Amino acid sequence: MPQRHLGWLGPVIVLVGAAVAAVGIWYFVHARPVAGAVIDTIALDDHSALVVRAEARSDRAFVELRDGGDVRWQALVPRYAGRPGVPGIAWSSNAVSVRVVRDGHAELFALAMRDASKLGGMRLAPGHGPIVEDPDGPVTLTDHVRSYEVVSGPDWHQLVAVDLTSGHALWASELGPARIRAAGLAEGRVWIEQGAGRRYFAPLTGREQPGGHAPSAEPK
C-alpha cells in the first residue's frame, strides 16, 4: 500500500510553520521573479489554458492560468518535470497538480484552480532513491478525477495515483526496471507500454488487469 498522506489541506492545517518557511518559493503577479520562455501550453477548453514558462534567472518555472489573452493567476514552482507534448500537469475543476523535481526527487505541488493558492504537496516514490530527472517516457496522465504519475529511477519505475480532490495518494504500483515507452488512458483503464507489451491497471485500485477490453465495472 502507498504511504498515506494528509491530503492537500493537511500541510496547510498541520504544518503551519513549514508553510511560513516555504512561502518564499510561491509568488503571485504582484511579487514574482522574471517569467521567461514558454515551456508548454495545455488547453483546458476553447478559451483557457495552463501555460508553463521558464523563470529567467533559475531552473524554476511559472504556471499560469490564462483566459484568452488575460493571465488570471501565476505561481512559481520548482523545476517543472514535464516537457512539450509530455505534460507534468493534471487538473480538476478545483485543483491543479504540478509535477516538479526538487533535490533529485519527484514531487507534486497543488494549486487551487480559482486563485493558485497553495493547497499542499507530496513527495512521490519516497521509498526509492533519486529519480532520472529527464526521462524519455511519460510523466503525468489524468482523467481530471485523479492524476497518474510515472516516476522513473535508474533501474526502477513506479506508477502512483493521486486523488485530485483530496490530495491523497490512492495506490502505487512497482513497474520494475524495463523502460517505459508510452502510457495513456483508454477504456476506463491506465495502460503502460513497457518491455514486450502493454500492461493495464484499474484506476481506483491499481490492480493489474489482463489485456483486451476493459471489464464493465471496477473490480470490488
Strand order in the sheet with 197-201: 180-186, 189-194, 197-201, 208-209
pTM of structure: 0.82
For the chain, which domains are there? 10-209 (2.130.10.10)
114-160 pLDDT tens trace: 999 999 999 999 999 999 988 889 999 999 999 999 999 999 999 99
| pLDDT(8) > 80 | no
The closest alpha carbon to 97, from 75, 67, 129, belongs to 75
Sign, Cα dihedral of 52, 117, 90, 168? positive
Interatomic CA distance for residues 98 and 191, integer angstroms: 21
Residues paired with 194 in a beta bridge: 180, 197
Tens of pLDDT, residue by residue over 178-210, are 999 999 999 999 999 998 899 999 999 999 998
What the block records as the C-alpha cell of 178 is 524495463
* Whether the predicted pLDDT of 68 surpasses 80: yes
Query: How confident is the prediction for the chain on average, in pLDDT?
Result: 86
Position 33 scores a pLDDT of 79
